[in-house]
Amino acid sequence: MKVTLWDLLSLISFATPVAAAVIEGQKARGIGILVGLVLGLCIGVAGFLGLRKGGGYVLKQLLRKEQTLATFFVVLTSAFLYLAAFIWSFVLGGLATYLTRSVIHYLIAA
pTM, two decimals, is 0.85
Q: Could you list the residue range(s) of the whole structural domain that residue 41 is in?
A: 5-101
**Domain annotation covers residue 95:** yes
**Domain annotation covers residue 34:** yes
Instruction: Identify the pLDDT of residue 24.
Output: 93
**Domain annotation covers residue 108:** no
**Domain annotation covers residue 83:** yes
Instruction: Identify the pLDDT of residue 58.
Output: 84
Q: How many domains does the chain have?
A: 1
pLDDT 10s digit of each residue in the chain, 110 long?
A: 899 888 999 999 999 999 999 999 998 888 899 999 999 999 999 999 999 999 888 878 877 776 766 777 778 888 898 999 999 999 999 999 999 999 999 988 66
The 3-state secondary structure of the chain reads CCCCHHHHHHHHHHHHHHHHHHHHHHCCCCHHHHHHHHHHHHHHHHHHHHHHHHHHHHHHHHHHCCCCCCHHHHHHHHHHHHHHHHHHHHHHHHHHHHHHHHHHHHHHHC
**Domain annotation covers residue 64:** yes
